Amino acid sequence: MTQRYRLLIEYDGRPFSGWQRQQDQPSVQAAIEKAAEAVDGAPVVVQGSGRTDSGVHALGQVAHLDFQRPIEQRKVADALNAHLRPLPIAILDAWPVQEGFHARFDAVKRHYRYKIINRRADLTVRKGLAWRCPQHLDEAAMQKAAQALIGRHDFSTFRDTGCQADSPVRTLDEITIMRNGNEIDVTCSAQSFLHRQVRSIVGSLVEVGRGREKPGWIADILAAKDRTACGPVAPATGLYLERIDYPE
């Protein structure tokens, strides 16, 4: 009698080659599968809501797995965490769910946050946890430019050449640029994203923020539907998969 669990997962992306299991490379998925096997006593497949790239962090990744052996609900997270130690992966919560629940296919919205620190000095406590941009960024210009991206568009410009999605069309529900002192957070929400879409958008918006491009340039490069029109891709270090929404 198997029981499916939904997991809420936080990780520091730095030591991993990404979420996805890979031959001979450390991945978050493989680490959780190994911990789950140690808990359940049999091989376990862990299905995430989606992949994250090498170095990308997660504050609220969601995954599901099936355990063959009964285990008290309140012990699932602790048991997995005990086997994950000392890797920087934490199971924040685990709930029993119906067999039909699917972390990837049931997700209705994905929320990413990109953290920029706008200052000249190198990072110290936040090293590896944000992208430092030394040139002053005009966040109002970035916000204005970003409006062009909201809605349903062909995002070919903002899609990695290795992207395996069938279509470059996505609906971006929200994009917000917020400054608090020298910290600028870019938050993006959509049902799904293309490969490196958020980092491509943020890197292009920073070109606007630092005054190298006018705000209207973002609409122009979107309309070009051409990967070569994109600005530099922002580094993985500032990106966080923040939350995934599911139907109630």
Tell me which of 20, 47, 54, 81 binds a copy of itself, using CB under 8 A. 81
* Stretch 28-67 residues interacting with a copy of itself (CB under 8 A): 57, 59
What is the rounded distance in angstroms from the CA atom of residue 155 to the CA atom of residue 171?
Answer: 9
Which of 7, 76, 77, 175: binder of a copy of itself (CB under 8 A)? 77
Residues 213-242 that bind a copy of itself (CB under 8 A): none
Assigned token pair, 186: 């870019």
73 binds a copy of itself (CB under 8 A): no
Q: What is the DSSP string of 101-146?
A: --TTTT--EEEEEEEEE--SSPPSTTTTSSEE--S---HHHHHHHH
Catalytic site residue from 53, 66, 138, 226: 53
Angle between helices 197-209 and 139-146 (to 10 degrees): 130
- For a copy of itself, which stretch binds (CB under 8 A), given 10-18, 153-161, 194-202, 225-233? 10-18
Give the Cα separation of 119 and 131 in Å (integer). Answer: 10
Minimum Å gap between C-beta 69 and a copy of itself is 22
CB atoms within 10 A of CB 171: 12
Among 123, 165, 219, 229, binds a copy of itself (CB under 8 A): 123
| Residues 85-114, interacting with a copy of itself (CB under 8 A) | 85, 88-92
Of the pair 131, 155, the CB lying nearest a copy of itself is at: 131
Q: Are 130 and 116 in contact (CB under 8 A)?
A: yes
Residue 84 corresponds to which amino acid? L
- Containing 16, the helix (H) or strand (E) segment is none
93 annotated active-site = no
Closest CA to 208 of 246, 239, 235, 177: 177
Which residue's CB is nearer to a copy of itself, number 92 or number 108? 92
- Region near a copy of itself per CB under 8 A, out of 40-48, 84-92, 160-168, 217-225: 84-92
Contact residues for a copy of itself, defined by CB under 8 A: 10-12, 57, 59, 77-78, 81, 85, 88-92, 119-125, 127, 129
Catalytic residues: 53
